[in-house]
Structure 1
Amino acid sequence: MTHAFPGGALALDFAGTLRYRHRPEPREDLSSPESLSAWFRESGITEHAIPCEAADLRTALALREALHRLIRARMAGTAYDRDALALVNAYARKPAPVPQLTATGCHVEARLEQAFAAVARDAVTVLGGPDAALLKECGNPECSQVYVDRSRGARREWCAMDPCGNRIKAAAYRARKRTSGRRTA
């Protein structure tokens, strides 16, 4: 699997495809039409590759940034950006992928517009429902992934243990060892 899905919701994971937004140079996970197609397949929106072109990738990045602005606004308790809201709602109104029952189980195929609709509808569900109160940003200062904290007591600190939680815990351990080493010397 090429892509990570730590957010607990399609919309959050799609917005998180621009990783480490707090760094001077964030990492772009949707760097090609092929990586966009792979994201849709790995996310479970579709089982097969969706043909994508450069223009489709530009559309996806525009949708992703609109989602990011809406997520940040919701977390901050501020008004939504009107253009971002209009774009997400426009895609949410489009037909979504339709699962089909087959002799071997469930089968899902989607066109590109249906895949965008699935992400937009998920954003409407997350940002407009009870999960909106559970949104958190990863505690790793470099990571910008937003996730739904459904943990007991809402005490989850990281988008995922690997790599963010492990890095923070390892740094804290090294700091404790340095401090205890100075006290014994």
Structure 2
Amino acid sequence: MLAAIATINSAAAVASLVPELGADGATARWAAPVRVTQVLSTLAREMIELLSGPLSGRIRECDSDNCPLVFVDTSRPGARRWCAMERCGNRHKVRALRARRGTDS
């Protein structure tokens, strides 16, 4: 755990991506050149904010048997189980329905 924290802190210490307003004045992009170290720094800073912020207690692992994804549960009751209902939640419900139909016969 300490090694992971050190890695995140080290990546965050590098200069992050620089946002730039587009010529139309309504779009944004990253100022060139975009370097991998800047991307990692930006991601690490966002990770630090997430892990130490108000949503830190809402970080969940997907309940699916074969899904490695982690997500932030922003549902009102905080009871979300899957990374995405369209993907893992639907698969779970289809399997449960098939199991019920198989035992009802």
Relative to the length of structure 1, the TM-score reads: 0.52
CA drift at 1:97:
0.7
The code of the aligned residue for 1:84 comes to: A
4+ residue stretches of structure 1 with deviation over 6 A? none
Indicate the residue corresponding to 1:139 in structure 2. Answer: 63
Q: Is 1:167 aligned to residue 87 of structure 2?
A: no
- How far apart in 1 are the matches of 2:78 and 2:28? 34
- How far apart in 1 are the matches of 2:29 and 2:50? 25
- How far apart in 2 are the matches of 1:111 and 1:151? 35
Larger Rg: 2
- Secondary structure, aligned partner of 2:93: helix
CA drift at 1:161:
2.1
Indicate the residue corresponding to 2:30 in structure 1. Answer: 108
Higher relative contact order (CA 8 A, sep 6+): 1
How many pairs were matched up? 101
Q: Is 1:84 aligned to residue 4 of structure 2?
A: yes
Indicate the residue corresponding to 1:70 in structure 2. Answer: none
Q: Would you tell me which structure has more helix in proportion to its own residues?
A: 1
Indicate the residue corresponding to 2:52 in structure 1. Answer: 128
The code of the aligned residue for 1:86 comes to: A
- Secondary structure, aligned partner of 1:163: helix
Q: Is 1:97 aligned to residue 17 of structure 2?
A: yes
Percent of matched pairs sharing the same residue: 38
Relative to the length of structure 2, the TM-score reads: 0.88
- Secondary structure, aligned partner of 1:150: coil
CA drift at 1:118:
1.0
- How far apart in 1 are the matches of 2:46 and 2:29? 20
